[in-house]
């Protein structure tokens, strides 16, 4: 009797499992870079301003997303970034003392897409995450490894190349850990600062 009950249970569960929605809708790869907000010194007659070139970091990552309905979606991503010329030259930015920094960013986010039936679909996105970062200054014999929180708000646009492939770009404003070179003579202590981030990506439907 028990064997029959197990068999009936399996036969009932199989159609439900076959009709269940996939956990993910798409997987993608992306490249990008970001720089922190920092006051720029005056030059000539130009007054002091604010630039986004401090501690410029370049990198790449992978991400996956899931549509909740025709408008809203969730996304998870894993990215690695470096202060060297891994993808672009002169990624060191405006640091006076040479710094070597590498980071792994893990993020989750929610977003909303618009005009989803069109070839180009803009979207807004907001997320949080964590950054594992290693920073070293060989010239000063300083080094630090930290786990730092981060958050971001961004906007982007999808271009539908085929029914299964999309390409796109996004611009984010991140709130994340920054090492100010004013403190480098004595310590490495991260502080919260804003950074702008640009990304280019391709995603593939599952």
> Concatenated DSSP letters for 118-147?
SSEEEEEEEEEEEEEEEEEEGGGTEEEEEE
Q: Is the dihedral of CA 114, 112, 205, 69 positive or negative?
A: negative
Domains of the chain with CATH codes: 23-205 (2.40.160.20)
Retrieve residue 45's tokens.
Answer: 């007659």
Residue 32 near residue 62, CB atoms below 8 Å: no
Judged by DSSP in three states, 89 sits in coil
pLDDT of 15: 52
In the prediction, which pLDDT does 18 show? 46
Which among 55, 57, 51 is positioned nearest to 85, based on CA atoms? Answer: 57
Residue 20's pLDDT is 54
Buried b (16+ CB within 10 A) or exposed e, 135-168: bbbeeeebeeeeebebebebebbbebeeeeebeb
Residue 11 is predicted with a pLDDT of 47
* Cα 157 to Cα 16, 68, 199, distances in angstroms: 35, 18, 11
Mean pLDDT by 10 residues, the chain (206 residues): 50 50 87 84 54 87 96 97 65 61 97 94 98 88 92 97 96 93 74 95 95
Q: Write down the pLDDT at residue 160.
A: 95
Provide the pLDDT for residue 8: 46
Burial class (CB in 10 A: 0-12, 13-18, 19+), 36: buried
């Amino acid at each position: 009797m028990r064997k029959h009950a197990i068999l009936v249970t399996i036969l009932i569960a199989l159609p439900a499992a076959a009709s269940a929605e996939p956990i993910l809708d798409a997987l993608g790869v992306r490249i990008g870079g970001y720089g922190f907000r920092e006051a720029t010194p005056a030059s000539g007659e130009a007054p002091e301003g604010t630039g986004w070139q401090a501690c410029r970091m370049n990198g790449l990552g992978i991400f996956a997303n899931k549509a909740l309905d025709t408008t809203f979606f969730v996304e998870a991503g894993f990215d690695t970034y470096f202060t060297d010329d891994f993808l672009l030259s002169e990624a060191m930015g405006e640091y006076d003392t040479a710094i070597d920094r590498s980071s792994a960013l893990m993020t989750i986010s929610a977003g909303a897409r618009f005009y989803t039936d069109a070839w180009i679909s803009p979207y807004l996105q907001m997320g949080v995450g964590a950054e594992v970062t290693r920073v070293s200054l060989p010239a000063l014999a300083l080094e630090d490894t930290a786990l730092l929180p981060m958050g971001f708000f961004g906007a982007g646009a999808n271009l539908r190349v085929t029914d299964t492939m999309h390409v796109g770009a996004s611009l984010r404003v991140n709130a994340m850990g920054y090492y100010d070179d004013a403190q480098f003579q004595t310590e490495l202590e991260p502080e919260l600062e804003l950074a702008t981030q640009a990304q280019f990506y391709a995603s593939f439907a599952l």
